[in-house]
């Protein structure tokens, strides 16, 4: 794992199912994002925000057959999906600003090869300057075609690069649920078999989230999954105190690969 920064950094994923209503295309939840923004602003922590696509990015991605698993040749689909993401990002940043956060939005590709350190000093400078870096799931050409790069995967890369102490993932449910709908308080390498089946989206839904959470946990970042529709619990999850939700832990010495 990369050595931690001079001060602890927390990565926050604002899930698409929190910041939008995934059942209604292009429906944005201003009040929910403002409430999370207030928790971020009042936490006093150094926070990097990543947000998902929800009913903006995923609506366009689905329409044009874009996904994280299969490359697509559609430049029109890329253009419209990215357009929807930039549109959503502007809304997220406006809500965060209204809540007292000072967002600095950028595409995750801004970080590629930046300063030769994967963008770490770029992000640290933003934080030192009092800004909150905000990035989002995006579309990349991998040599074979266009694919979606999920915000969850970006969280893994950022957590590793920054040596983040914690990653808090805000969902539209109270955490990872078991088959009976109860919150699994601690999830480890051997505890995933009985999770509730979840709706898939263009980037794999809860299954991807859990595997990415395990990757982060195995490299030393504590991962907390919490309802983003319960700002008080989100705030506790941020601060590292007891909260209602799921903590992802990997038994010592076990790597998720």
Residues engaged in binding ligand IP8 (CB under 6 A): 16, 52-53, 57-58, 61, 81, 85, 137-139, 148, 150-152, 202-203
- Residue 22 φ/ψ region, left for φ over 0, alpha for ψ in the -120 to 50 degree band, beta for the rest: alpha
Question: Cα(233)–Cα(239) distance, rounded to whole angstroms?
Answer: 10
CB of 111 to ligand IP8, least distance (A): 16
Q: 58 in helix, strand or coil?
A: helix
End-to-end distance of the chain based on CA atoms, in angstroms?
13
CB of 243 to ligand IP8, least distance (A): 22
Question: Cα(169)–Cα(231) distance, rounded to whole angstroms?
Answer: 12
CB of 23 to ligand IP8, least distance (A): 15
Residue (64 or 166) nearer to ligand IP8, CB:
64
The residue number with the shortest CB distance to ligand IP8 is 137
Helices (H) and strands (E) in the chain, counts: 8, 10
Residue (26 or 117) nearer to ligand IP8, CB:
26
User: Beta strands 186-187 and 46-51: pairing type?
Assistant: unpaired
Residue (57 or 133) nearer to ligand IP8, CB:
57
Residue (103 or 151) nearer to ligand IP8, CB:
151
CB of 115 to ligand IP8, least distance (A): 25
């Amino acid at each position: 794992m990369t050595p931690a920064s001079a001060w602890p950094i927390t990565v926050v994923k604002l899930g698409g199912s929190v910041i939008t209503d995934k059942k209604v295309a292009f429906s944005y939840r201003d009040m929910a994002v403002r409430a999370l923004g207030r928790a971020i602003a009042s936490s006093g922590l150094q926070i990097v925000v990543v947000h998902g696509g929800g009913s903006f990015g995923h609506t366009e991605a689905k329409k044009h057959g874009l996904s994280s698993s299969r490359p697509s040749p559609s430049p029109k689909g890329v253009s419209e999906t990215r357009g929807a993401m930039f549109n959503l990002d502007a809304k997220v940043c406006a809500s965060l600003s209204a809540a007292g956060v000072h967002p600095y939005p950028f595409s995750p590709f801004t970080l590629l090869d930046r300063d030769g350190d994967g963008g770490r000093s770029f992000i640290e400078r933003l934080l030192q300057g009092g800004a909150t870096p905000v990035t989002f799931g995006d579309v990349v050409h991998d040599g074979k075609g266009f694919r979606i790069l999920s915000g969850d995967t970006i969280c893994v890369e950022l957590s590793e690069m920054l040596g983040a102490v914690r990653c808090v993932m805000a969902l539209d449910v109270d955490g990872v649920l078991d088959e009976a709908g109860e919150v699994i308080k601690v999830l480890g390498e051997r505890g995933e078999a009985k999770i509730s089946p979840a709706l898939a989206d263009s980037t794999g839904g809860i299954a991807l989230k859990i595997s990415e959470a395990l990757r982060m946990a195995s490299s030393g970042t504590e991962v907390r999954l919490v309802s983003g529709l319960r700002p008080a619990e989100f705030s506790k999850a941020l601060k590292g105190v007891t909260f209602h939700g799921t903590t992802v832990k990997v038994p010592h010495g076990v790597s998720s690969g």
